[in-house]
Structure 1
Amino acid sequence: MSSMTPLAHPPHSEAQLLAQAQQLAGRTLGELAAMAGLPIPRDLKRDKGWIGVLLEVWLGASAGSKPEQDFAALGVELKTIPIDGAGRPLETTFVCVAPLTGNTGVSWETSHVRHKLRRVLWIPVEGSRDIPLAQRHVGAPLLWSPNEDEERQLRMDWEELMDLIVLGEVERVTARHGEVLQLRPKAANSKALTEAVGAHGEPILTLPRGFYLKKNFTAALLARHFFLKTY
């Protein structure tokens, strides 16, 4: 195993960030955790964000849980994506928490979703459950910005979903709404309620919601870059 060390400081350029990410490709999560001195959980049930944290350590990410991008100085967001043996995403991708109140006059141009997806470093990771966590390999990175067609798809879905939130119909929204972007509950338990607008404009309490990229969107994105078959 050739020697590698995590970035001690946030990367100073996209080129440095991408070069460091490329060095991780082909390594196992166990190797990277051992070299970084991080304990490996038995599984991800209680440590869902562990892979992201591990890669943030290696790549010198600075944002933590703050609402800015993971590499704020570069304007780049880090997204790990679990894939199957054919390179297809195994789950939807969380983008950000959805604002359920105070949305008068919001626009796609200034939205948090657009801000988060403006520039993304995608890192695929083997995600099949039959592979022990420590033995899962990290894939080749992809530095991506939405093309015109992707931006149009995202914008249309965001506008439709935000209209439903503003009109007090958040409780009616299902994961089936949206072609490439969906809105669904994001809470560790059903008691973590937040304020929203009801059907008659009244304040209500509901589960927090998050915006997620659907698998068809990320599958097409990965397939186009890595020349994979889409089904």
Structure 2
Amino acid sequence: MEYKTVEELMTKAQEAIGKTFGEIDLKGRLTNTKSKGGLGQVIEESFFGYKINSDARPDFEELGIELKVTPFKQNKDKSISAKERLVLNIINYMDEVNTTFETSSFWKKNEKILLMFYEWLPNYEPKDFYIYKNILLSYPAADLEIIKQDWETIVEKIRNGKAHEISEGDTNYLGACTKGASKNSLRPQPNSNIPAMQRAFSLKQSYMTAFLRKYVNNEELVSFAKQRDLQEKSLESLLNDKFAPYIGLTDKEIATRLNVTYNKDSKSFVPSIVSSLLGIKGTRLEKIEEFAKANIQFKTIRLEPNGKPKESMSFENIDFHQWTNESWEESYIRDKFTSTKFLFVIFEFTETKKQNPDRKLYFKGIKLWNMPLPTIDQEIKQIWEEVNRLIQQGLHIEFKKRGTKTVETNNLPKVGFNGVAHLRPKGKDGKDKVILPNGQTITKQCFWLNNGYISQIIR
């Protein structure tokens, strides 16, 4: 059936609200264990009544609208999140490099998207999920400028024969996710003899989460970037422009200029400075629209006079049960570093603590960084493999006397393992323990990036 107007299509889509996929499925697709595509195909075939296809044109070609059926989930804190990125069309590396954004396969197919959201619930059968809300996605003007920049970043990498090094962390809103069951899903690329994993354009999970919270929960996000600015500069350039006037000032001088209460020991001090610098004082960093949509996480770095941070950079505690029950390609740690950008806000001491106990901390600048894919698939993978190997074989855990204290030691990867990352506890209390999949008990362990590696990144 053809739909002559957007209103006619949306009226039809509204009829699905509240219905389960089991109720909608007229073709028995959900009871056929051999069928692929699942819930999206149920909507295409049984609800809108058109044949399943992998056409380069939008599903509702006459209206220029693509259809996507996508899940969200409720978190422990009652907030909602997209359950996954929104996978769009496959990238043909050989063809995409010969297009402009306006003539690209991405834009031709995904200029407008009818999003049909369903709530994913644990322990439910797919047939019992139901359509919760429909939204017609037409990209906000500022978002579109960032998406154009992202598309250009992806295509430039393909042009340079580096499609095999594409990472979702390279871009902000529009990603290029791997698409295929295994490493057998390899494709030729221009200007290189190295085959690259098949990839598809996708809207990042963080982008979809921010979109959901804004349009489903009416949550307010605050933006610092304007469309007119993004037409001329990248998001990173705009951030640099905002921070540049404060380089060389002490943290106290910056606080005074921005009228922020100076408390260098407070965890909220630097975030307060960041939001004030961006012209949106008082906004929590997770409520900054560009940070939320691009999954930009903030880290403060304090350099010693030798140009090296005193401390390594800590992340969350490790769930060893998760680590040992997932493949590398689907692992939490790999996804963390392929999908996250980090905003490093860098300060430096010009004197050692010994030279001056009351030494001042000077602002050095910022760096928007994502871990390169070769590092993820080599050094980070080495650590993941070593941890899995040790748990399978049994960790070597000892308790040693150091003065009046008893200290737990183990043979998990240390700072010297590969120069990039290591595992060790975070905090002073060794009483907080977890049980490993092999039954051993160990102090909670945290993932750290080595201070030497951080020094190399920002050098």
- Whether the 8 Å contact between 2:58 and 2:65 is mirrored in structure 1 is yes
The one of 145, 155, 168 equivalent to 1:162 is 155
Deviation by residue 1:80-129 (Cα, 9 ceiling, x = unmatched): 11111344210011111112124554211111112222111000012233
In the superposition, relative to structure 1, how do residues 104 and 32 fare at CA in structure 2: closer, same or farther (>3 Å)? closer
Deviation by residue 1:178-203 (Cα, 9 ceiling, x = unmatched): 11111132123322322113xxx343
- Whether the 8 Å contact between 1:10 and 1:61 is mirrored in structure 2 is no
Query: Percent of pairs identical after alignment?
Result: 21
In the superposition, relative to structure 1, how do residues 87 and 10 fare at CA in structure 2: closer, same or farther (>3 Å)? farther
The one of 3, 15, 19 equivalent to 1:11 is 3
Cα distance in 2 for partners of 1:148, 1:141 equals 21
TM-score normalised by the chain length of structure 1: 0.84
- Does residue 140 of structure 1 match 2:133? yes
Q: Matched residue of 1:88: which SS?
A: strand
Cα distance in 2 for partners of 1:214, 1:29 equals 25
How much does 1:47 deviate?
Answer: 5.2
Worse overlay, 87-96 or 126-135: 126-135
Aligned to 2:22: 30
- Whether the 8 Å contact between 2:73 and 2:83 is mirrored in structure 1 is yes
Aligned to 2:123: 130
- Does residue 76 of structure 1 match 2:65? yes
Cα distance in 2 for partners of 1:102, 1:78 equals 24
Aligned to 1:153: 146
How much does 1:163 deviate?
Answer: 0.6
How much does 1:52 deviate?
Answer: 0.7
Q: Matched residue of 1:107: which SS?
A: coil
In the superposition, relative to structure 1, how do residues 214 and 202 fare at CA in structure 2: closer, same or farther (>3 Å)? closer
- Whether the 8 Å contact between 1:80 and 1:123 is mirrored in structure 2 is yes
Aligned to 2:210: 220
Aligned to 1:108: 101
How much does 1:48 deviate?
Answer: 5.5
- 2:19 aligned partner, one-letter code: R
Cα distance in 2 for partners of 1:62, 1:47 equals 14
Cα distance in 1 for partners of 2:135, 2:96 equals 33
Moved >6 Å (runs of 4+): none
Cα distance in 1 for partners of 2:141, 2:200 equals 24
Structure with the greater alpha carbon radius of gyration: 2
Task: Could you tell me which runs of 5 or more consecutive residues in structure 2 were left unpaired when the two chains were aligned.
Answer: 222-285, 287-459
How much does 1:207 deviate?
Answer: 2.2
- Whether the 8 Å contact between 1:182 and 1:211 is mirrored in structure 2 is yes
- Does residue 53 of structure 1 match 2:35? no
Higher strand share: 2
In the superposition, relative to structure 1, how do residues 47 and 89 fare at CA in structure 2: closer, same or farther (>3 Å)? farther
The one of 192, 200, 204 equivalent to 2:185 is 192
Aligned to 2:194: 204
Cα distance in 1 for partners of 2:106, 2:83 equals 21
Cα distance in 2 for partners of 1:31, 1:225 equals 26
Cα distance in 2 for partners of 1:39, 1:104 equals 37
- Whether the 8 Å contact between 1:62 and 1:72 is mirrored in structure 2 is no
Q: How does 1:167-186 map to 2 (within 5 A)?
A: 167-186=160-179
Cα distance in 1 for partners of 2:122, 2:218 equals 21
Cα distance in 2 for partners of 1:37, 1:96 equals 25
- Whether the 8 Å contact between 2:97 and 2:158 is mirrored in structure 1 is no
How much does 1:10 deviate?
Answer: 2.9
Cα distance in 2 for partners of 1:52, 1:170 equals 28
In the superposition, relative to structure 1, how do residues 13 and 218 fare at CA in structure 2: closer, same or farther (>3 Å)? same
Q: Matched residue of 1:141: which SS?
A: strand
- Whether the 8 Å contact between 1:63 and 1:70 is mirrored in structure 2 is no
TM-score normalised by the chain length of structure 2: 0.44
Q: Matched residue of 1:140: which SS?
A: strand
How much does 1:138 deviate?
Answer: 0.7
Q: Matched residue of 1:125: which SS?
A: strand
In the superposition, relative to structure 1, how do residues 61 and 75 fare at CA in structure 2: closer, same or farther (>3 Å)? farther
